[in-house]
Amino acid sequence: MTPTDRVKALPIWRGTPQVAPLPGGITNQNFVVTDARGKSVVRIGGDIPVHHIFRATELAASRAAHAAGISPAVRYHADGVLVIDFITARTLTAADLCDDAQLDAALDIITRTHRDIPRHLRGPAPLFWVFHTLRDYAATLRDGGSRHLTDDLLADAAELEAEVGPVDLVFGHNDLLPANFLHDGTRMWLIDWEYAGFNSSLFDLGAIANAGLTHAQESRMLRTYFNRPPSAALWHRYRAMKAASALREAMWSMVQEVHSDLPVDFAAYTTTNLATYRAAFDAFRHP
């Protein structure tokens, strides 16, 4: 059975469903389905242990995010299938997040994610710690015979982890690529909760900054989020986590080069994100 046939066979449709691929996914296969009730988005993808993706966690986070008014409603789920309401909206780009008004809206929805989702989350509490992920990625790459050498990157990661220091836990999205923000013309939405879990707020903030924020925008972001001017110590910890966020995206792509069958140029994606990481690490070392 093809993925399209699997989507058509779901028991929730009214009438004959019309199925169209939804481009842009780099972990799952996504489709837009139109039936007598309207449009839905269908995500096809099972657990991905090499990325610590477990669909039960994604489902719980998706439901909590909807209850918090942050994400579309879950309509249906089954093994390897998640169906959510379709939102008529524009997918944001890195350039959008570098616009002050869009950045303010993104920061508002991130703040509500961190603050409000735990009030609605059911089941086990997932944890996302980027430095564990990086160490596990390095082992996965060694086991898979990757072309990438990670010893120097792991040494960097150990330094960054030490400099981040103790953290205050919030519920993080942990995958704040620009494409996971939607704007319907009135409000912003946040989607795709595969990596959601309790984490430092600095990880999500650093991910946003890696879209290309200026120093002035980063300063305003930190001042707004923490409701005070950022101290030198906060800047230092933030820059360390910003670099770790970029390194995670680069090593994520390295793992995809070995393990993914999706038709995506992950080698090019790795190169781009390594450049982002090196710039962030240099800014951490030489602010």
Q: Where do the structural domains in the chain lie, given as residue ranges?
A: 3-85, 90-285
Calculate mean pLDDT across residues 4-28: 91
Among 74, 77, 195, 67, CA closest to 127: 195
Q: 3-class SS at 199?
A: strand
Whether residue 177 contacts residue 91, with contact meaning beta carbons closer than 8 Å, is answered with no
Question: Which CATH number fits the domain 90-285, given the four candidates 3.90.1200.10, 3.40.1360.10, 2.40.110.20, 3.40.228.10?
Answer: 3.90.1200.10
Mean pLDDT of the chain: 96
Residues 130 and 173: beta-carbon distance below 8 Å: no
Minimal CA–CA distance to 157: which of 175, 173, 137?
137
Q: Which pLDDT belongs to residue 24?
A: 76
Q: What is the mean pLDDT of residues 241-258?
A: 98
Q: State residue 227's pLDDT score.
A: 96
What Å distances lie between residue 246 and 5, 12, 20, 193, CA to CA? 37, 39, 32, 18
The fraction of the chain above a pLDDT of 90, given in percent, is 95
Beta bridge partners of 83: 42, 76
The pLDDT of 143-171, averaged and rounded, is 97
151-164 helix and 266-285 helix, angle to the nearest 10 degrees: 50
CA distance from start to end of the chain: 54
Architecture category of domain 3-85 in CATH: 2-Layer Sandwich (3.30)
Q: Hey, what are 23's tokens?
A: 């481009």
Residues 217, 103: Cα–Cα separation, whole Å: 9
Paired residues of 279 in beta bridges? none
The pLDDT, as a whole number, for residue 262 is 85
* The pLDDT of residue 215 is above 80: yes
Mean pLDDT of 203-211: 97
